[in-house]
Amino acid sequence: MTERGSLLDKLKRMQERNVRGKEAEPSAPAAEPAQQSAQVIRLPLWPETVRGVPNGLLRSALFGAIRKGRRRYISGEDLAAIDGVTIRYKGERLDQGDLDVWESVLHAVRLQELGSQCHLTSYALLKLMGKTDTGKNRATLQARIERLRANAVTIKQGRYSYIGGLVDEAYKDEETQAWVIVVNPKLHALYAADQFTQVEWNVRHALDGKPLAQWLHSFYASHAKPYPMRIETLHELCGSETVRMDHYRQDLRKALDAVTAACEAHGEGFSY
């Protein structure tokens, strides 16, 4: 055998040993596909001039048209709401001022992922509401955030239900007035395309201090085609605490006039 033939045989035997060795080794586990990144859940990104609120909350007595003063504690009751919306609530009664705070929190939270920490100051929150940064307003703001955190609400709107608090977590640095607020990402279910309303903030702010007018403005804004409704039905839906219906009729007339004037002043059509 020639030297070249001997060398080829040796290389062939070495190759055969390498193949047998690899067959005997345990096979390495197949690489797992990269995990899909978790879906980022956000609220719809509405314009700066409006506030986005689920329709069910605007068409019910959850944020009632009630006056200032002592509030009734509700121990798990079904609140008045239009057909197709069911709201069960446990906690201190909420008013239109509480809705202003909640709308402002959601307005800030819409810029980031739901469930993440939203960092903002008392000054920033009060500015969103058109309030000055005073000690009294800070105290009122904290009381309202505490109320929004302490409640439990079940909201059924369309095919989805939400069970939880209107605010999941809230922390505050007493020295810097810096807040950390967390909103439950499951709240996103109430923000389907046809299930929330963009309320004109300038009109709502112009009605500050007129809870029935604020409630009426948001209620009718949530309807593309408002329909006639009995005064007694409006009395129940807005959560009014006015006992005598003749007094409520007078309040209703004044409130509707105020909504008409505020809408005309800011270029939003409204008539009744």
Residues contacting residue 108 through CB under 8 Å, at least 6 positions apart: 118, 120, 124, 125, 128
More confident residue, 151 or 4: 151
Both tokens of 155, joined, read 């909201």
Reported as a single tens digit per residue, the pLDDT across 178-233 is 999 999 999 999 998 889 999 999 999 999 999 999 999 999 999 988 888 999 99
Both tokens of 59, joined, read 């068409």
Quote the pLDDT of residue 68.
85
Contact of 191 with 52, CB cutoff 8 Å? yes
- Residue found under tokens 């689920």: 54
Gyration radius of the chain over CA positions: 30
- What is the amino acid identity at position 72? R
What is the value of pTM for the model shown?
Answer: 0.84
DSSP letter, residue 81: B
Reported as a single tens digit per residue, the pLDDT across 45-98 is 999 999 999 999 999 999 999 988 889 999 999 999 999 999 999 999 999 999
CA nearest to 100, candidates 175, 196, 32, 201: 201
Average pLDDT over residues 133-159: 95
Average pLDDT, the chain: 88
Say what percent of the chain tops pLDDT 90. Answer: 77
Average pLDDT over residues 93-105: 97
Quote the pLDDT of residue 13.
56
CA nearest to 114, candidates 13, 45, 29, 56: 45
